[in-house]
């Protein structure tokens, strides 16, 4: 049974598999495209449309169209209602996954079951869990979720196997997000060293600048006309702006006609103008890249051997130019829109082989017609990722004067037992804390996850993701020792262990993340399966 790799993007998605010759191939969708817009149109009860056609419906029926749902993954407080039915981000994503699976199934002639789905490196445990759920709701068997930059590096490395230690920087600028990751490659061992990014910086910001420019040009040519209240005009303008931006990656100038109220304006934009109008956006990606490279340097990475450009936006020539000019980084573009899905397909093959009884190097060698030793290299390949965000516990500040008199009201802050970028599997080992008052009956153990961005011990910069109570023995004096340890396995599952050493009382927490329990997942799966999904 073929295993598939899926790049579930916020703008575009892509599915790939490894063919009989051992090469990753992208499965085209129903209209022959390699990528499918991640847009879902709830056309009528019981039938949804996914992809380009769904995106075109956004104007006619915006209230029935879900776009950029990836940004909401892992949020439990949102649901979207279409035809009177509430849909979670997981369920909406499941429709996209089903459409991709259908296309791939048509192309390979066998149903899609085993998949690896990629996620951004900065996704927290909750978002990863939501992604797995989306896969299960779509009726798929999710072998694993894999970091997008690792997938890109895998697909890149599969074409250039080489010895020694090498460091690769993945620069991924997509439709709505930017992230950059330094990856260490050594033979079969692939691990992320550090990662950084901005969740609110991507192609859409460039499009917005182009829209503004074109509107200004229109008003200059047709003074007295204000088309901004016209939905149809603004919709066409938005679509047109993205086209102009994309065309300017190959052309030096592009012209569009804008028609409104009987008037027509001819707007020309040059590549130089586009670059000038968006320079600050690009520089922001370079600031983050510079910081990430600096962080890698602190982790003893002396040279970046290779820079891989991923994401549709890296087709803009200026990205490479500025990486070279400002950071001295020589980048190569490696199938910016397909690399992630292809890498995931390679990883899926390896994962599948390692899980199936009797599956192993020989079976892979047979299937791919490669030598047993080549296959052994593939199945041995291990991928190490990092803790995407810091995890810790909330404690009372013993330096706060209130701590002595009224510890319940003292300032609290978060201590990260596992800082962001700790390689997986990660284990903090036992860290000692103290009780606050005499005869404390129990200790409240709260698990806090750092919010996106930089690490901070302020409670407001972290989110409580789980809590439990550790029973304490009678007559325990204040400031008695309590031990807490945090561990995250390769799949991102967090286990927390707390212990009172005198009594041996223990508390174990397995992070239960995401709002849907198993029953809800299976109900959603049934509901999704009943829908007619088309593109
Ligand atoms: P995501 O990973 O967010 O799903 P993609 O990697 O598919 O997104 O990138 C989508 C973005 O890339 C969009 O903003 C799109 O306009 C932009 N894009 C696609 N092709 C080009 C191009 N030739 N030149 C510039 N931008 C492009
Ligand atoms: Mg992407």
262 pLDDT above the threshold of 80: yes
| 194 class by beta-carbon count within 10 Å (0-12 exposed, 13-18 middle, 19+ buried) | buried
3-state secondary structure of 371: coil
**Composition of the chain by helix, strand, coil, percent to 5:** 35, 30, 35
The answer, yes or no, to whether residue 484 has pLDDT greater than 70, is yes
> For the chain, first and last CA: distance in Å?
25
Give the three-state DSSP class for 309.
Answer: strand
Closest residue by Cα to atom 19, ligand 1, is 312
**Contact partners, residue 178, CB within 8 Å, separation at least 6:** 172, 197, 198, 201, 202, 284, 285, 288, 311
Domains and CATH numbers, the chain: 4-201+283-384 (3.30.420.40), 203-277 (3.90.640.10), 391-509 (2.60.34.10)
Sorted by sequence, the CB contacts under 8 Å of residue 131 that are 6+ apart come out as: 8, 73, 93, 117, 119, 123, 142, 145
Q: Does the pLDDT of residue 151 top 90, yes or no?
A: yes
Give the lowest-confidence range in 209-213, 284-288, 368-372.
368-372
Q: What is the pLDDT of residues 25-34, one digit of tens each?
A: 999 999 999 9
Q: Is the pLDDT of residue 385 over 70?
A: no
pLDDT at 304: 95
* Distance in angstroms (rounded) separating the CA atoms of residues 118 and 8: 6
Other Cβ atoms within 10 Å of 455 Cβ, number? 16
Mutation pick for ligand 1 pocket among 312, 319, 321, 339 (CB with most ligand atoms within 8 Å): 312
**How sure is the predictor about 375, in pLDDT bands with cuts at 50, 70 and 90?**
low
Atom of ligand 1 minimally distant from the CA of 11: 4
Predicted confidence at residue 485, as pLDDT, reads 95
Instruction: Give me the pLDDT at residue 514, please.
Output: 34
> Average pLDDT of 126-136?
90
| Separation of alpha carbons 68 and 176, rounded Å | 8
Torsion of CA 93, 98, 101, 103, to 10 degrees: -110
Q: Whose CA is nearest to atom 22 of ligand 1?
A: 246
* Nearest-angstrom CA–CA distance, 460 and 154: 37
- Which residues' Cβ are closer than 6 Å to ligand 1? 9-12, 174-176, 203, 242, 245-246, 249, 311-313, 315-316, 337
Chain-centroid distance of CA 77 in Å reads 19
pLDDT band at 112 (very low <50, low <70, confident <90, very high): very high
Q: Is the peptide bond before 386 cis (omega within 30 degrees of 0)?
A: no
Q: Which residue minimizes the CA distance to atom 13 of ligand 1?
A: 175
Look at residue 356 in the predicted model and tell me its pLDDT.
65
Q: What is the number of residues in the chain?
A: 535
- The confidence score (pLDDT) of residue 125 equals 76
> Residues near 481 by Cβ (< 8 Å), separated by ≥ 6?
432, 433, 434, 500, 501
Band (490; pLDDT cuts 50, 70, 90): low
Q: What integer is the mean pLDDT of 269-297? A: 97
Q: Which of 24-28, 401-405, 473-477 has the lowest mean pLDDT?
A: 401-405
- Distance CA(330)–CA(307), nearest Å, equals 6
If you measure from the C-alpha of residue 339 to the centroid of ligand 2, how many angstroms do you get, rounded to a whole number? 9
**267-285 average pLDDT score:** 98
Average pLDDT of the residues of the chain: 88
Instruction: Give the residue-averaged pLDDT of 306-332.
Output: 96
pLDDT score recorded for residue 332: 83
Residue 355 has pLDDT above 90, yes or no: no
pLDDT(253) > 70: yes
- pTM score, whole prediction: 0.79
Q: Ligand 1, closest atom to CA 202?
A: 14
Per-residue buried b or exposed e for 406-429, using 16+ beta carbons within 10 Å of the residue's own CB? ebeebebbbebbbbbbbbbebebe
Residue 513 scores a pLDDT above 50: no
- Give the residue, 33 or 405, on which the prediction is more confident: 33
- The neighbouring-strand residues paired with 280 are none
Query: 442: helix, coil or strand?
Result: strand
Looking at residue 491, what is its pLDDT? 61
pLDDT score of 479 more than 70: yes
What is the Cα–Cα distance from 462 to 366, expressed in whole angstroms? Answer: 49
CA 501 to CA 504: how far, in whole Å?
5
Alpha carbon separation from 13 to 42, 207, 438 (Å, rounded):
18, 20, 57
Phi/psi region, residue 115 (left: phi>0; alpha: psi -120 to 50; beta: rest), is: beta
Q: How confident is the model at residue 518 (pLDDT cuts 50, 70, 90)?
A: low
Q: For 153-167, what is each residue's pLDDT tens digit?
A: 888 876 665 668 889
């Amino acid at each position: 049974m073929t295993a598939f790799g899926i790049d579930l993007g916020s703008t575009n998605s892509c599915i790939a598999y490894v063919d009989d010759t051992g090469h990753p191939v992208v499965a085209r969708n129903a209209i022959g495209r390699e990528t499918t817009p991640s847009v879902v149109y709830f056309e009528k009860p019981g039938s949804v449309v996914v992809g380009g056609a769904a995106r075109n419906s956004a104007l006619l029926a915006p209230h029935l169209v879900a776009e950029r749902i990836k940004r909401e993954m892992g949020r439990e407080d949102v649901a979207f209602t279409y035809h009177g039915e509430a849909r979670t981000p997981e369920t909406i994503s499941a429709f996209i996954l089903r459409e991709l699976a259908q296309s791939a199934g048509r192309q390979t002639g066998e149903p899609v079951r085993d998949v690896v789905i990629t996620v951004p490196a900065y996704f927290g445990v909750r978002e990863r869990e939501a992604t797995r759920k989306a896969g299960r709701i779509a009726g798929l068997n999710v072998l694993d979720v894999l970091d997008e930059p690792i997938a890109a590096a895998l697909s890149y490395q599969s074409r250039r196997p080489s010895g020694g230690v090498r460091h690769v920087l993945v620069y991924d600028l997509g439709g709505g997000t930017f992230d950059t990751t330094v990856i260490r490659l050594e033979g079969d061992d692939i691990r992320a060293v550090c990662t950084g990014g901005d969740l609110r910086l991507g192609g859409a910001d460039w499009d917005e600048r182009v829209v503004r420019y074109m509107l200004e040009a229109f008003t200059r040519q047709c003074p007295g006309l204000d088309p901004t209240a016209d939905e149809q005009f603004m919709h066409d303008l938005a679509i047109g702006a993205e086209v102009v931006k994309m065309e300017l990656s190959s052309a030096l100038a592009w012209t569009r006609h804008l028609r409104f109220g009987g008037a027509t304006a001819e707007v020309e934009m040059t590549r130089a103008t586009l670059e000038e109008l968006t320079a600050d956006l690009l520089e922001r990606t370079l600031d983050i890249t510079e910081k990430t490279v600096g962080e890698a340097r602190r982790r003893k990475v002396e040279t970046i051997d290779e820079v891989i450009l991923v994401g549709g936006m890296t087709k803009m020539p200026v990205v490479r130019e500025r990486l070279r000019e400002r950071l001295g980084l020589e980048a190569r573009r490696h199938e910016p829109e397909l690399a992630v899905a292809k890498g995931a397909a390679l990883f899926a093959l390896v994962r599948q082989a390692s899980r199936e009884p009797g599956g192993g190097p020989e079976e892979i060698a047979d299937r791919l017609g490669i030598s047993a030793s080549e296959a052994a290299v593939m199945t041995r390949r291990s991928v190490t990722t990092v803790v995407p965000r810091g995890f810790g516990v909330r404690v009372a500040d013993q330096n706060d004067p209130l701590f002595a008199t009224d510890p319940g009201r003292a300032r609290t802050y978060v201590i990260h037992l596992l800082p962001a970028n700790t390689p997986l599997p990660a284990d903090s080992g036992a860290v000692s804390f103290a009780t606050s008052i005499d005869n404390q009956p129990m200790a409240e153990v709260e698990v806090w996850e750092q919010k996106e961005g930089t690490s901070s011990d302020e409670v407001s910069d972290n989110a409580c993701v789980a809590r439990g109570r550790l029973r304490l023995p009678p007559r325990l004096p204040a400031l008695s020792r309590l031990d807490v340890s945090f561990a995250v396995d390769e799949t991102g599952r967090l286990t927390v262990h707390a212990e009172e050493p005198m009594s041996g009382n223990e508390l174990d927490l397995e992070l239960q993340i995401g709002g849907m329990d198993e029953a809800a997942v299976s109900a959603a799966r049934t509901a999704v399966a009943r829908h007619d999904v088309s593109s």
